[in-house]
Amino acid sequence: MEIKGWVLIASVIAVAAYMVAIYNSLVQLKNNVAKAWANIDVLLKQRHDELPKLVETCKQYMGYEQPALERVIAARANVSQAMAHGSPEVLGKAEEGLRSGLGQLYAVAENYPELKADQSFRFLQTRISGLENAIADRREFYNDSVNALNVRREQFPDRLLASAFDIRGAELLHFSSEETRDVDLKALFG
């Protein structure tokens, strides 16, 4: 075989290897998005398990504050449904409702010194706050993973392979303007 034949074979092998590398990279990015979403799911489930304990602890002291407790319970159910739905947009809206409900519950708890002094309440409040921080960190990682996947899917020649193998982009987890603005403490404690 002459040199032109070897060059052609080497070129075909190089292009095939390049396409395999692109495909493998896209698959890794897609799986990173799935892993980031699963990490959020784990933390949400942990918080989901802690919320009934918090509500029960509060019920012992806050007999006349049923609406605040019911808002947290309803918001918890909405987050569960949103996670089952699998849409970051739906989850973002449900999370907004839960954060609002927890904020109101904590604000109302300020009126109950015995509740604030309760060791179980303090532990649960600290645990849930820690989970909230971890969820925020995982949201950031999720959005970074989604961005990396979506950028690669838009680039040439990755776009061709992504389309050929039906590797879809993912949706960023957005926050509403309500959730990202500063908290109005006067409204919470007024």
Is the pLDDT reported for residue 8 higher than 80?
yes
Which is more confidently placed, 68 or 184? 68
Which is more confidently placed, 187 or 145? 145
Is the pLDDT reported for residue 109 higher than 90?
no
Q: Pull the structure tokens for residue 41.
A: 């799911």
Q: Name the nearest CA neighbour of 176 among 100, 74, 92.
A: 92
Q: pLDDT tier at 175 (50, 70, 90 boundaries)?
A: low
Contacts of 146 (CB under 8 A, 6+ apart): 33, 36, 169, 170, 171, 172, 173
pTM value? 0.77
Q: In Å, what is the CA distance from 26 to each residue of 42, 144, 148, 156?
A: 25, 15, 10, 12
Domain CATH number, residue 134: 1.20.1440.20
What is the number of structural domains in the chain? 1
Is the pLDDT reported for residue 176 higher than 80?
no
Task: Please say whether the beta carbons of 132 and 30 come within 8 A.
Answer: no
Calculate mean pLDDT across residues 38-44.
92
Is the pLDDT reported for residue 182 higher than 80?
no
Within a 13 Å sphere around the CA of 96, how many CA atoms are in the beta-carbon half? 15
How confident is the prediction for the chain on average, in pLDDT? 87
Can you give the pLDDT at residue 185? 43
Can you give the pLDDT at residue 27? 97
- Nearest-angstrom CA–CA distance, 19 and 180: 41
Q: Residue 15's domain spans which residues?
A: 3-189
